[in-house]
């Protein structure tokens, strides 16, 4: 018997072989109860063990004999009543009835086995958004249904029948939903682990996203089966559509160098690593579909519009491209490679990037970028993509820190602190993804993406502590820590955005400080800005997009003295590392722009949320698209774009 991804059938056969005196129907009933009582980890361990055993046995093995037994196995006429997915001793769980499975012919069974077999390691995954629920049999196309419990309780079986019939009955579905007790999440198998309903956390605090995006990503990662085609159905309110969709996308990273998985890391670059969602493309397909609930608690019957589908597809491509760049090691994503990525995006958008490299940087006054990257084998660069449509009213510049690898320079990192520094280009990667998606969604104002690219390496030409560099602002900086390099390249980038691009809104994004994780945690990026109004907008955008933000202190009159130098305009690292370190790092950048800068300046430090475990999250793309969604032609982005919310301090003063 071929190894099934759900593992249930082989488990039931094992129960029967251990108790040959039991009828197959009774063995199946017991197997269902035992299987549903196992934890997800125990199920995965069993599947892995079973598949290895299957592959190691010859064609005359015990598993072949088990397959012969299955050919003669009938499901009987009585309904099988498995126990609920939690431990059988839980009194709150009600028994669920599962409809009997019809007797299959050998040919039908073989096609099912082929469909449900785990795809080879060489398969990547395409994420495809559908305008409405399609018709599919969970036996051949597994389905995972996710929603808040209050939304799942509003559903009738008829709303999901096209995804569950004929394997799941209405009684089974209703009993399963009644069994859900999320703490913080919960899931119940509806049919052999190929049809599952999962509940999101009951509550979301004011600093969390109402979409429960992080819980969605975890559920999808843990419960999709990685077969050739399957579905994820999201039950949510329309205002959470965008954040929920982005949460699913984050569960499917592209980059891998595992043996046999080279396809995932060598897809055509112009495709931006996302695929076309075609099941015939040789890759797995995950169909993402929605059941939308309006503010009155009624199920919406209208399918997604072409505008909404286009926005979701372009955002998907942007997030996955961003995560792929961050996941790639420096030997595959150095400055040359990153410039190639920018050129590929520019070619697709019919935009030619401006590139300033190597000694040209020094000649034109970019002492920050040049000083950081001059010791590397691949020279540093400043790269600019510009979208300038007719009738533009504002000029927005997005500046990204693109340190493709950070050894710390001569202030070298410890051996345990250096692994993972390939992610130090996370800010620039997010800016590239955002620029691509924003232009594709019809950005109406001037939009510039500025990439500050360098490798902070060690060599004969490396910057030394005590060296003094003159940055693009004209200000001099005494280097007292070569590992505080990100602020140097960003200072050049924001000054270029002001002087040359004449931007009136400048946002820089960077994996800038390890202290950010201490200040705002691993889920929330830090926002530092000279505008309280835009701080409120940014926080609102974080909650609506799922890329969360938390404010840090903006107080240059108290904190900038940390950079005092006796022989230069400033040092590049603080005197007291216990004094609002993330805020101070951002203020260094603002100082080169000028604290009297009349425009809007925002700094996003996302050193920790750029990754989850060992994989990149694509953080930043959905945040910026939501923040500036009002500047696009996309109705979906306009509907969730940040509004001119009254700043908290004004409300306090009035009250």
Coil, strand or helix at 528: strand
Are the C-beta atoms of residues 418 and 408 closer than 8 Å to each other?
yes
Strands 381-387 and 446-456: antiparallel
Enclosing H/E stretch for 570: strand 570-571
Of 509, 383, 385, the closest CA to residue 435 belongs to 385
Enclosing H/E stretch for 651: helix 648-654
Strand ranges inside 421-541, DSSP E: 446-456, 468-470, 476-478, 505-510, 525-529
Tokens 């990037």 identify what position? 353
Coil, strand or helix at 133: coil
How many CB atoms are located within 10 Å of the residue 562 CB? 21
Peptide bond into 184 cis (omega under 30): yes
Phi-psi label, residue 47: left if phi above 0, alpha if psi -120 to 50, beta otherwise: alpha
**What residues are annotated to the active site?**
413, 487
Residue 203 dihedral angles phi and psi, to the nearest 5°: -120, 150
Give the tokens for residue 425.
Answer: 């280009």
Are the C-beta atoms of residues 571 and 477 closer than 8 Å to each other?
yes
DSSP of 364-427:
TT-HHHHHHHTTSSSPPEEEEEEE--TT---EEEEEEEEEEEE--TTSPPPTTTSTTGGGGGHH
Residues 6+ apart with CB under 8 A from 372: 380, 403, 409, 454, 456, 463, 485, 488, 489
Strands 395-406 and 446-456: parallel
Whole-angstrom distance, CA of residue 568 vs CA of residue 473: 14
Are the C-beta atoms of residues 287 and 303 closer than 8 Å to each other?
no
Beginning with the edge strand found earlier in the chain, give each strand of the sheet holding 468-470 in spatial order: 468-470, 476-478, 570-571
Are the C-beta atoms of residues 335 and 455 closer than 8 Å to each other?
yes
Q: Please name the residue ranges forming H helices in 500-578.
A: 515-520, 532-545, 556-559
Phi-psi label, residue 546: left if phi above 0, alpha if psi -120 to 50, beta otherwise: left
Enclosing H/E stretch for 227: none
Strand ranges inside 192-228, DSSP E: 195-199
How many CB atoms are located within 10 Å of the residue 577 CB? 12
Are the C-beta atoms of residues 587 and 484 closer than 8 Å to each other?
no
Whole-angstrom distance, CA of residue 472 vs CA of residue 465: 20
Sign of the torsion angle spanned by Cα atoms 19, 25, 28, 32: negative
């Amino acid at each position: 018997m071929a190894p099934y991804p759900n593992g249930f059938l082989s488990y039931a056969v094992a129960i029967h072989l251990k108790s040959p005196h039991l009828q197959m129907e009774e063995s199946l009933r017991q197997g269902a109860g035992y299987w549903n009582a196992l934890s997800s980890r125990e199920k995965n361990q069993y599947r892995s063990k079973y598949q290895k055993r299957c592959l190691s046995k010859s064609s005359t093995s015990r598993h072949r004999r088990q397959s012969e037994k299955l050919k003669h196995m009938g499901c009987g006429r009585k309904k099988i009543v498995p126990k609920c997915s939690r431990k059988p001793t839980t009194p709150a769980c009600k028994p669920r009835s599962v409809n009997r499975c019809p007797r299959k012919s050998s040919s039908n069974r073989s096609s099912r086995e082929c469909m449900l077999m785990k795809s080879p390691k060489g398969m990547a995954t395409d994420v495809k958004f559908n305008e409405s629920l399609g018709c599919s049999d969970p036996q051949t196309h597994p389905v995972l249904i996710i929603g808040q419990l209050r939304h799942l309780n509003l559903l009738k079986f008829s709303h999901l029948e096209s995804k569950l019939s004929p394997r799941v009955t209405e009684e089974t579905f209703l009993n399963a939903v009644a069994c859900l007790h999320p703490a913080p999440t919960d899931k119940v198998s509806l049919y052999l682990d190929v049809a599952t309903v999962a509940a999101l956390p009951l509550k979301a605090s004011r600093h969390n996203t109402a979409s429960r995006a992080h819980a969605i990503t975890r559920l999808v990662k843990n419960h999709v089966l990685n077969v050739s085609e399957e579905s994820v159905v999201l039950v949510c309110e329309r205002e959470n559509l965008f954040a929920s969709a982005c949460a699913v996308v984050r569960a499917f990273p592209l980059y891998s160098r595992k043996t046999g998985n080279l396809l995932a890391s060598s897809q055509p670059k112009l495709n931006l690593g996302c695929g076309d969602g075609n099941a015939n493309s040789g890759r797995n397909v995950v169909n993402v579909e929605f059941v939308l609930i309006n503010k009155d608690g009624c199920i919406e019957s209208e399918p997604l519009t072409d505008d909404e589908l286009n926005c979701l597809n372009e955002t998907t491509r942007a997030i996955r491209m961003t995560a792929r760049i961050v996941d790639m090691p420096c030997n595959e994503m150095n400055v040359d490679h990153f410039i190639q990525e920018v050129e590929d995006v520019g070619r697709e958008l019919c935009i030619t990037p401006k590139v300033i490299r190597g000694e040209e940087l020094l000649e034109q006054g970019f002492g920050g970028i040049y000083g950081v990257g001059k010791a590397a084998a691949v020279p540093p660069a400043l790269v600019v993509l510009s979208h300038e449509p007719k009738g533009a009213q504002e000029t927005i510049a997005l500046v990204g820190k693109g340190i493709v690898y950070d050894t710390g320079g001569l202030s070298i990192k410890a051996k345990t602190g250096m692994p993972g520094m390939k992610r130090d280009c996370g800010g620039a990667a997010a800016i590239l993804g955002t620029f691509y998606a924003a232009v594709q969604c019809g950005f109406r104002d001037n939009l510039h993406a500025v990439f500050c690219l360098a490798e902070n390496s060690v060599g004969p030409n490396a910057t030394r502590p005590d060296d003094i560099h003159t940055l693009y602002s004209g200000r001099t900086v005494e280097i007292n820590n070569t590992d505080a390099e990100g602020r140097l390249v960003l200072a050049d980038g924001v000054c270029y955005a002001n002087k040359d691009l004449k931007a009136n809104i400048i946002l820089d994004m960077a994996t800038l400080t390890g202290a950010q994780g201490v200040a705002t945690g691993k889920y929330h990026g830090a926002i530092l800005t000279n505008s309280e109004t835009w701080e409120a907008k940014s926080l609102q955008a974080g909650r609506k997009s799922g890329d969360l933000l938390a404010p840090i202190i903006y107080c240059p009159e108290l904190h900038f003295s940390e950079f005092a130098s006796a022989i230069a305009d400033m040092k590049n690292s603080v005197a007291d590392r216990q004094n609002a370190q993330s805020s101070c790092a951002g203020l260094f950048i603002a100082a080169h722009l000028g604290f009297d800068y009349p425009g809007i300046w925002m700094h996003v430090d996302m050193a920790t949320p750029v990754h989850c475990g060992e994989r990149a999250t694509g953080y930043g793309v959905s945040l910026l698209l939501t923040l500036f969604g009002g500047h696009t032609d996309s109705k979906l982005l306009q509907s969730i774009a940040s509004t001119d919310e009254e700043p908290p301090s004004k409300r306090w003063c009035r009250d």
